[in-house]
């Protein structure tokens, strides 16, 4: 049986390929630990000049974290499994972001949640025609994590909040406009480009191609107006007063989401975290509490396990979430704080 993560060196490159195509390359705890170990091994290896990240299969680079096992444990009152997974995943996210050697990710198909954390904090992020990138966490009673609040906070205008609250999917042009990626390359050229990177160990092997148009950039002024409101009820009221397809679609998504997750996401992006470390620490405070005090277990049940799409959230509407409840989810963890 093939491993879930293919780890090897080819020429001048260290290569990490997510290898769970039937599970859309969803991240496991073991994959995060193996990625960290490989990167630490290659850090001082003079034969490795750069690292390439990609995913097996045609459908996804990485669709997110594999959370079924974490949820099953949480339902039994065992929160340690999830907390351990998130702690090690977030440490891996930071290692990827601060790695001293160049890393290049090839982000095809679905790139969501944990996949964003795996491939989008590095300097060279390549998207292609099939790229569909999103942060859908509020729909499963979560918040955008894996450093997602850092990326969302740096997106133009109110685009980050729009992406966080609606799980809107970014094509290649949108991903580049939002700052989640920085290079478009037709996927027909990917194999030859990877081979050239392995052979030379030189980033000059990355071609420069024309960036596709971004539909979200064309809607930026509308997004800024609708999502620039101070509270969730005010955002919803603005959307209800706008008859555009974007507003209708956003409103439909927001009405499905966890009210607590959205209120906390709004607080986490205003103000946005200034550094990736700050973002990860704040996200960990939330995810550490997510199973015991949040909507996470119910959201995963409704959307992923039972698939009845009918979650019973802790709050009936966004306006029912108090500032004190948000503050409690984001309060420091004392001895359990995330450290690097």
Q: Is the dihedral of CA 66, 67, 70, 72 positive or negative?
A: negative
Query: CA-to-CA distance for 287 and 294, rounded, in angstroms?
Result: 9
Helices and strands (H and E) in the chain: how many = 16, 9
Q: 145 catalytic, yes or no?
A: yes
Catalytic residue among 89, 137, 283, 295: 137
Gap between the Cα atoms of 339 and 233, Å rounded? 35
Rounded Cα distance between 288 and 42, Å, is 31
Q: Could you tell me the sign of the dihedral formed by the alpha carbons of 11, 15, 21, 24, in that order?
A: negative
E strands in 109-245:
110-112, 124-127, 132-134, 183-184
CA 227, 230, 232, 235 dihedral sign is: negative
Catalytic pick from 4, 66, 145, 325? Answer: 145
Q: Is 119 a catalytic residue?
A: no
* 189 has catalytic annotation: no
Catalytic residue among 14, 55, 65, 153: 65
Structure-token pair, residue 280: 């990860």
Locate 301 and state its tokens.
Answer: 């049940």
Structure tokens at 63: 């669709």
Q: CA distances (Å), 314 to each of 27, 44, 73, 201, 307, in order?
A: 28, 49, 20, 52, 19
| 2 part of the active site | no
One of 114, 139, 160, 171 is an active-site residue; which one? 114
Q: Is the peptide bond before 271 cis (omega within 30 degrees of 0)?
A: yes
Catalytic (active-site) positions: 65, 114, 137, 145
């Amino acid at each position: 049986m093939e491993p879930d993560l293919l780890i090897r060196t080819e020429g001048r490159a260290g290569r990490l390929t997510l290898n769970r195509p039937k599970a859309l390359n969803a991240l496991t705890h073991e994959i995060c630990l193996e990625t960290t170990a490989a990167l630490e091994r290659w850090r001082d290896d003079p034969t490795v000049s750069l690292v390439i990240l990609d995913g097996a299969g045609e459908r996804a680079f990485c669709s997110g974290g594999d959370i079924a096992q974490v949820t099953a444990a949480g339902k039994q009152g065992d929160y340690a499994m999830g907390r351990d997974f998130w702690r090690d995943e977030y440490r891996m996210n930071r290692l990827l972001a601060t790695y001293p050697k160049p890393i290049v990710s090839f982000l095809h198909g679905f790139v969501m949640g944990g996949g964003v954390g795996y491939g989008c904090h590095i300097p060279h992020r390549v998207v292609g025609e099939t790229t569909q990138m999103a942060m859908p966490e509020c729909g499963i009673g979560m918040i955008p994590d894996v450093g997602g609040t850092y990326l969302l906070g740096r997106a133009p205008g109110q685009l980050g909040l729009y992406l966080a609250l609606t799980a809107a999917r970014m094509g290649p042009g949108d991903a580049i406009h939002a700052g989640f990626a920085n290079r478009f390359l037709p996927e027909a050229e990917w194999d030859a480009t990877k081979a050239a990177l392995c052979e030379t160990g030189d980033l000059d092997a990355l071609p420069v191609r024309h960036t596709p148009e971004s539909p979200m950039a064309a809607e930026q002024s509308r997004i800024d107006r609708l999502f620039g409101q101070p509270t969730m009820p005010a955002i919803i009221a603005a959307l209800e007063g706008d008859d555009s397809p974007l507003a209708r679609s956003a409103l439909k998504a927001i009405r499905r989401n966890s009210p607590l997750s959205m209120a906390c996401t709004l607080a986490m992006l205003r103000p946005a975290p200034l550094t990736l470390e700050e973002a990860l620490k704040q996200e960990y405070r939330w995810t550490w509490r997510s199973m015991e005090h949040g909507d996470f277990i119910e959201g995963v049940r409704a959307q992923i396990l039972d698939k009845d799409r009918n979650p019973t959230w802790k709050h009936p509407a966004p306006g029912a979430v108090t500032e004190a409840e948000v503050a409690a989810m984001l309060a420091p963890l004392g001895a359990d704080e995330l450290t690097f």
